[in-house]
Structure 1
Amino acid sequence: MASSSASAPAGIRIGSAPDSWGVWFPDDPRQVPWRRFLDEVSTAGYEWIELGPYGYLPTDPARLADETRSRGLSVSAGTVFTGLHHGPEVWDRTWAHVADIAALTRAMGAAHLVVIPSFWRDDRTGEVLEDRALTAGQWRHLTSQTERLGREVLDRYGLRIVVHPHADTHIDTEENVSRFLDATDPDLVSLCLDTGHYAYCGGDSVELIETYGERIGYLHLKQVDPEILADVVANEVPFGPAVARGVMCEPPGGVPALEPVLAAARRLDVDLFAIVEQDMYPCPPDRPFPIARRTREFLRSCGTPRRAP
């Protein structure tokens, strides 16, 4: 696997993810095959990847290690989905989902587990599944159970959880992100700041980094198209259809500007992964690779390093 010593002087390590290849599910005929993703992400100039939806990439650690190593790739994180605001009664089901993913993530040498809260409306059909605002009791469940998850994942697998604010979830806006961070233990819970989702929900990524710098444990680099976003917000379009409309766009054509975000991240003077995610589902199979290559070149122009030899 690639060594972390290849990171940028400011500690920023650039990668990409299956999401940037239109991959949202373990198996879907509209998605590119996993071997093609690995081939193309490596050729595009990235050396770090996330696992994506569990089961998309091989789940046997030895096989996945062979497949990634042969392409000069290493794994930065796995991803889990949770509905912890429902309280202790969902813990067993949540842990059953988390455990296999955490085990594979650790086996691949990664140190992070990205935690995405459950959606309050279906991301494809738009069906409202529950109220978009949590009660005080649900907030207490969310924060206490997330701390429990952070503790268990750290104790059992040596991984740090990084919670991902996401459109159409209860951790979305500046207000809700701040409330969540203020109510959770920084030793157990860090943030995966997704610049696109935070802008989608009206937040300022640079301000968040400057205000809660010690809580930023991981970055997803993404931009939104402001014109499409305005229509999405005005018409209350669910996240899935919004993505299909192109609300997440190729840098540097959207917001937020990524140069100041990366500059703010460098000022933290800590090692950070910055994983490119341009939500594109569904998309033609030949579309992701040219975008990924251009995005990598753009990020080099922002001062991120070239791939290690």
Structure 2
Amino acid sequence: MTQTETPSIRIGTAPDSWGVWFPNDPGQVPWKRFLDEVVEAGYEWIELGPYGYLPTDPNELEDELGSRGLKLSAGTVFTGFHKGEDQWQRAWDQALEVAGLASKLGAEHLVVIPDLWRSDATSEVLESRTLDDEQWQKLAAGHDRLGKALLEEFGMKQQFHSHADSHIGTTREVLRFLAETDERYTNLCLDTGHYSYYGGDNLKLIEDHPERIGYLHLKQVDPTLLFDILKNDVPFAEAVAQDIMVEPPHGIPELAPIIERVAQIDPNIFGIVEHDMYGCSVDRPGPIAKRTRDHIFSCTRAARVN
């Protein structure tokens, strides 16, 4: 294969890489500064981030992105389908807002993050760490219902994001989730850092289930610190404050092989740099985002800006 024939995926970034977890937090980077620094760092694709952080008026958001040459890849919602039928309305209300906005700006993906069993705001333990069979059934059915509705209503694809301190995090949990959901409606936003958090092998998951990889979040975890985090049962938010997610190339997994393998599966898949940095100084993220982009483009030809 010649250089010009090398398949590549689009690389973007997200508000999370600027320490943004909440719509309104005076300690976070102001949204206009975020957009400006995204451009300075060399990205053209971004995610919406928490609904309400960026403008929610589609015309205003389109103007703000367009004036900077930026485009939207996805929005994000949170779900708790294992808790019961009442969770459907909560999920769909979010979808109407987030997918309604994101789809108007051309985004084709909705990243769906499951509720955490331990709060990322207070570190309070909210429920059991594991699900019983009935809860698994409710979880899977809820996501398939959501994915089908998103396709029919907005033409958007649901991309499920396994997460530290959630019920779907380990390899066995992710594989069970795939086995109990329908690939027509529910696939993965494979977050390389979160999957590695519990020892998952990203490349093996991609090789074994290429048809279920619909979207990527690119990040690395500090493999040395990780053992202390797990041994001491440190809540995820506190682990983030300790820099458990580390600037590439100083962590795992290696990003180039993942990007290259996914590009062979489907060059339309996004690889969004999403570095968990909540609580950081507002001056810290921009330079890291630029260095991360430079690292990715220096280590593989399977990455492209647009």
Normalising to structure 2: TM-score of the pair? 0.96
108-117 or 296-305: which moved more?
296-305
Q: List gaps (5 residues or longer) in structure 1.
A: 1-7
2:238 and 2:303 map into 1 onto residues whose CA distance is 35
Does residue 33 of structure 1 match 2:33? Answer: no
Does residue 133 of structure 1 match 2:130? Answer: yes
> What amino acid maps onto 1:76 in structure 2?
S
Match of 2:48 in 1: 51
Match of 1:283 in 2: 280
> What amino acid maps onto 1:216 in structure 2?
I
> What amino acid maps onto 1:254 in structure 2?
G
User: Displacement of 1:126 after TM fit?
Assistant: 2.1
The aligned runs of 1:11-22 (5 Å cut-off) are 11-22=8-19
RMSD: 1.2
Q: Could you tell me which of 227, 239, 243 is aligned with 1:242?
A: 239
- Deviation by residue 1:8-52 (Cα, 9 ceiling, x = unmatched): 952400000000000000010110100000000011000000000
297-306 or 132-141: which moved more?
297-306
User: What secondary structure is seen at the aligned counterpart in 2 of 1:88?
Assistant: coil
Q: Could you tell me which of 292, 301, 304 is aligned with 1:303?
A: 301
1:12 and 1:247 map into 2 onto residues whose CA distance is 26
Moved over 4 A (4+): none
Match of 2:196 in 1: 199
The aligned runs of 1:1-309 (5 Å cut-off) are 10-301=7-298, 302-305=300-303, 307=305
1:277 and 1:269 map into 2 onto residues whose CA distance is 20
Q: List gaps (5 residues or longer) in structure 2.
A: none
2:121 and 2:67 map into 1 onto residues whose CA distance is 36
8 Å CA contact retained: 1:124, 1:241: no
> What amino acid maps onto 1:42 in structure 2?
V
User: Displacement of 1:66 after TM fit?
Assistant: 0.5
1:156 and 1:205 map into 2 onto residues whose CA distance is 32
User: Displacement of 1:119 after TM fit?
Assistant: 0.3
8 Å CA contact retained: 2:50, 2:76: yes
Given the superposition, is the C-alpha separation of residues 294 and 304 from structure 1 closer, same or farther in structure 2, using an over 3 Å criterion? farther
8 Å CA contact retained: 1:194, 1:220: yes
User: Displacement of 1:69 after TM fit?
Assistant: 0.7
- Paired residues, number: 301
- Deviation by residue 1:266-308 (Cα, 9 ceiling, x = unmatched): 2314421000011001011111010011111111112244545
> What amino acid maps onto 1:172 in structure 2?
G
User: What secondary structure is seen at the aligned counterpart in 1 of 2:203?
Assistant: helix
